[in-house]
Structure 1
Amino acid sequence: MSKLNDIATFVIAIGCLLSLLMVPLDIPVGRKIFYACGYLSIIGILVKCIYAKHSFKKQNLLVASSILLFGLANILWVIIYKPAENYSPIYSVFMNIGKILILSAFLYLFISDSKQKNNTLISAVVIISLIMDFCVYYQHFKLGHVRAELGTEKATIAAYIISIISSLGLSAILETKHKSKFYLSFFLFMMGFTAIILTQTRAAILFFPLISLLSIVINKNISKATVIKASGVFIIIIIACGFIFKDKLTSRYHDITNDWSQYQKNNSDTSVGARFAMAIVGLKSGVDSPLGQSAEDRAERVMQIVTLDKTLYGANQYVNIHLHNEVIDTFSLKGTFGTIILLFFYISIIYGSMRPHLNIMTLSVILSTIVYGISDVLFFSKEFTITFILCLVISILINNSTNNVVNHEKE
């Protein structure tokens, strides 16, 4: 039974790595591999529970349950509110995301107490991260894309995907005992940060360096003196990238200041202004329908709000997609219960990353996701949702293997 479990874990680990490489590049087989890993996990869990009488740890059950509930909330909302005809494409999006999350819950639970060779996993993640970076460079410098987008068709989602994969690779490298781990981490950070700059996604440009620095500062295996030196090098890299890409960063900065200036003049029809307007109308429509509402009812309510307050006009162009804030968009559609489930999802993963030992890899992935969710709805993208789950699963595998090595050394 143990050998079968090891074989299944190995197959799933390989599948997750292949899927992580393919999904962001929109290679269809990547999604098929992900689904196959999920179905194999369900079989593995049944075998563990029925034949091996295996019991899972409470923190792992908690996280898996939160993922499952998050998926069910999406599907139940679609079942309850989807009209019989002439309905918004939002419903099919959330139905697909719900199915992905439900499958992900089983994938996470099966992997939660499994182990693989961590050095191989870390090397694979680093290679995948660099491939994503080089794809961005190719799109920008060779194909002439102003904002590189990988295979996602959205530069912002591409930036968030690059950010969480790079954060996973960076924090994983720092967990190793490799003599050159800091040089490797500096290189990976530089490549990831420059790739993010080429997507021109402001949230990721601002917060990716902060998440990267945090992964160093909270690492208990690094001495204070080394933390200070490493942080200094990271800051130097950030400044250097700032000079190299001065024109692009200056342009995005001017866009922010101009958008803010327009918003101060009651013009919300800009990127920044629209986000503030969407937050306001989202909260108002959510308060009016605390138990949830259909996409059509929300759109109608938003139109009413905008009609009464012309300064919120910028929210109109996005109301049939999403409101560019994970929590507010959830509240406006799925009501109070849906919002509680989303927050439970966030909190349980943060809690799971700290029990029984601090898993910096998982923490960096979920913190990045929460922060970026302030300016976008990430779980509206199949590519991001699958990538997020894969990063979560791989971080658990690496962490379990690392702790296993440590425990053997102590013995």
Structure 2
Amino acid sequence: MKINMSMEKINNYLLNLCFFLIMLSISITLIDVKIARVSFFVACYISVFGVLIDKKNYKKFVKILPIPLLILGLSKIIWFYYFYNNAPDINLNTNYIQAGKRIIFCSIIIAYLLANLRNTNLNKKIIVFSVILSFIFSTIFAIYQIKIGLPRVELNTQATGAAYMYSCITLLLISYCLISAKKTISYIILSIIFLISFFIIIQTGTRTAIIFHPILFLILVFYASGRKVRLILSLSSIMITIAVGLFFKTEIIEKINTTNNEIAIYENSRGNEGSSLGARFSMWNAGMYSFYQSPMGASLEQRYSQMKSYTEKENKDRAALIFANIHLHNEIVDTLSLQGILGAIIVIFFYISMLVKSFREKNPMLLSVILCLIAYGLTEVIFVSREMSILFSLMILSALLLNRKEKIEE
């Protein structure tokens, strides 16, 4: 009896410590990457240990385990060992195997907390508070970077990743506000959050986020609010977008001109001269060529060789080779070129399953995260990035915890 009581105390201690570390990681992930990362991985090991010693909850844990996320992580590890198992200089620190491990750890944490964390108002308030802190801290840090004259807001990573992660955090917070708001002041605050976030995202100079952030906001407004509120928020968001556009007219025109110039450079040089947008076009073309050569997958070295052969044979898209050993700035193209058709099917299965889950469970928070993953995955490989894979996984966890429908314990 005493042993059982002691084990129960240990389980509760591990659970609370894991929950605290996850909330800490969410709160500071964009201002102190190192502490956020350490907190996340310590929470990972705690959750694994917690699962192993809590034998009575094995069935519940397995039932809750997010299979699509787990399969996504496993696919990257299986790909790595299939192509590199007999390699003489195997590098276990490659981005792809580490990405697979992080995703698997995230699936374990999600199942561990969903299976054991009580569905209380206090716990939900702690999660919301952590997301709010993340938004406030990153916004203040971004304003500081603007004030000291950085050309692009980077937060504590690089500008592109900062824009995508900041957008995801903001949209999850807005989604929660949409289903929780009961007074007019709540909708005013919600509009202010969108205004601030759009301003910060413009300061990152990330075109994909500048385009998709207001679009995703409108989608969430239409999905999560009533007809009257939907009309008011839609009109206000359109007005805010236009107002911000007019305020940053010079910067936006400059971005449009830069985009046109980069397209012209790409067309005139046949993709042999590098530019931000042109290099992406080159990578996607060369990546698809590599996929056609190896539809069931290839190693990084094989992909590079195939892409190089393509650029020499066609005398085009040489700019793709700059990033060929990193990633191809598109989740699907990158996966096709390395993991082949099966890998791409797994990614698409993950997207669809999360979309279906968000609609079936009426979870706008989860919808906000998966829409960000899909939209920003068009020009980035989210899960290869250590910071982005952790942040987006934590946002999935937050969305699931906030939307639990079972009876709330007081």
Q: Separation in 1 of the partners of 2:231 and 2:370?
A: 25
Give the residue type in structure 1 aligned to 2:174: L
> Which of 223, 226, 234 lines up with 2:226 in the alignment?
223
Instruction: Tell me the equivalent position of 1:171.
Output: 175
1:26 CA displacement: 3.9
Deviates more, 1:262-271 or 1:16-25: 262-271
Instruction: Tell me the equivalent position of 1:319.
Output: 324
1:336 CA displacement: 1.8
Q: Deviations over 1:51-98 (max 9, x none)?
A: 24653596x44xx2222222222222222334423x7x8962112212
1:130 pairs with 2:99: no
Instruction: Tell me the equivalent position of 1:71.
Output: 73
Return closer, same or farther for 1:285/1:52 CA change in 2, 3 Å cut-off: closer
Q: Separation in 2 of the partners of 1:157 and 1:148?
A: 10
Please say if residues 90 and 295 of structure 1, whose CA atoms lie closer than 8 Å, have aligned partners that are also in contact.
no
Please say if residues 27 and 130 of structure 2, whose CA atoms lie closer than 8 Å, have aligned partners that are also in contact.
no
> Which of 382, 390, 397 lines up with 1:393 in the alignment?
397
Return closer, same or farther for 1:78/1:366 CA change in 2, 3 Å cut-off: same
Please say if residues 130 and 191 of structure 1, whose CA atoms lie closer than 8 Å, have aligned partners that are also in contact.
no
1:260 pairs with 2:263: yes
Q: Separation in 2 of the partners of 1:165 and 1:391?
A: 7
Instruction: Tell me the equivalent position of 2:112.
Output: 110
1:33 CA displacement: 1.3
Return closer, same or farther for 1:189/1:352 CA change in 2, 3 Å cut-off: same
**Count of residue correspondences:** 395
List gaps (5 residues or longer) in structure 2.
none
Return closer, same or farther for 1:250/1:279 CA change in 2, 3 Å cut-off: same
Return closer, same or farther for 1:137/1:340 CA change in 2, 3 Å cut-off: same
1:97 pairs with 2:109: no
1:282 pairs with 2:287: yes
Q: Separation in 2 of the partners of 1:116 and 1:28?
A: 30
1:352 CA displacement: 2.3
Q: Report SS of the residue matched to 1:20.
A: helix
Instruction: Tell me the equivalent position of 2:150.
Output: 145
Return closer, same or farther for 1:11/1:186 CA change in 2, 3 Å cut-off: farther
Give the residue type in structure 2 aligned to 1:100: R
Q: Which has the higher contact order (CA 8 A, sep 6+)?
A: 1
Q: Separation in 2 of the partners of 1:364 and 1:253?
A: 27
Q: Separation in 2 of the partners of 1:52 and 1:298?
A: 44
Q: Separation in 1 of the partners of 2:212 and 2:288?
A: 25
Please say if residues 74 and 98 of structure 1, whose CA atoms lie closer than 8 Å, have aligned partners that are also in contact.
yes
Give the residue type in structure 2 aligned to 1:161: M
Cα RMSD, aligned residues only = 2.5
TM-score by length of 2: 0.89
Instruction: Tell me the equivalent position of 1:368.
Output: 372
Instruction: Tell me the equivalent position of 2:159.
Output: 155
Return closer, same or farther for 1:120/1:102 CA change in 2, 3 Å cut-off: closer
Please say if residues 28 and 134 of structure 2, whose CA atoms lie closer than 8 Å, have aligned partners that are also in contact.
no
> Which of 343, 356, 359 lines up with 1:351 in the alignment?
356
TM-score by length of 1: 0.88
Please say if residues 30 and 134 of structure 2, whose CA atoms lie closer than 8 Å, have aligned partners that are also in contact.
no
1:378 pairs with 2:353: no
Q: Separation in 2 of the partners of 1:3 and 1:190?
A: 46
